[in-house]
């Protein structure tokens, strides 16, 4: 079956612009996670959804970052007033449930470059 998909695969934007990154989880997975990964680092947790609600958004670095999952499936990560330091690969993962005891299936990521 289809895995987790993310679009776009690459996004280049200018400092100060707004960007949206999309994640399509595996069908039927109720939990969805967003991570940010910089070169040579492990994935950095941003936010976790259980269904439509954000169960834990403690990893969002500041109020320029926001994520939604209005129908409990597709999620969008939104970044306002982008800064060069936001450049990274943004990974999305989904799992069958939100107990954190289930394996996470990662998407291929969106590489964001802020010029």
Query: Which residue among 53, 58, 70, 71 contacts another protein (CB under 8 A)?
Result: 58
Please identify which residue in 5, 45, 64, 113 interacts with another protein, judged by CB under 8 A.
45
Strands 110-114 and 88-95: antiparallel
Tell which positions 84-113 bind another protein, by CB under 8 A. Answer: 91, 93, 100-101, 103-109
Q: Find the distance separating the first CA and the last CA of the chain, reported in whole Å.
A: 37
- Per-residue string for binding with another protein, 9-38, x by CB under 8 A? ------------------------x-x---
Q: CB-hemisphere CA count at 13 Å for 25?
A: 28
Kindly tell me which of 66 and 106 has the beta carbon lying closer to another protein. Answer: 106
Q: Which is nearer to another protein, 63 or 103 (CB)?
A: 103
**Biggest distance spanned by C-alpha atoms of the chain:** 39
Distance CA 67, CA 78 (A): 6
């Amino acid at each position: 079956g289809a895995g987790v998909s993310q679009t776009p695969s690459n996004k280049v934007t200018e400092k100060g612009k707004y960007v949206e990154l999309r994640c399509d989880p595996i069908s039927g997975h109720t939990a969805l996670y967003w991570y940010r990964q910089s070169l040579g680092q492990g994935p950095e947790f941003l936010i976790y959804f259980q269904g439509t609600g954000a169960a834990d958004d403690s990893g969002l670095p500041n109020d320029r970052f926001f994520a939604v999952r209005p129908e409990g499936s597709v999620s969008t990560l939104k970044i306002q007033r982008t800064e060069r330091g936001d450049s990274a690969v943004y990974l999305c993962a989904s799992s069958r449930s939100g107990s954190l005891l289930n394996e996470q299936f990662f998407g291929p990521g969106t590489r964001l470059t802020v010029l």
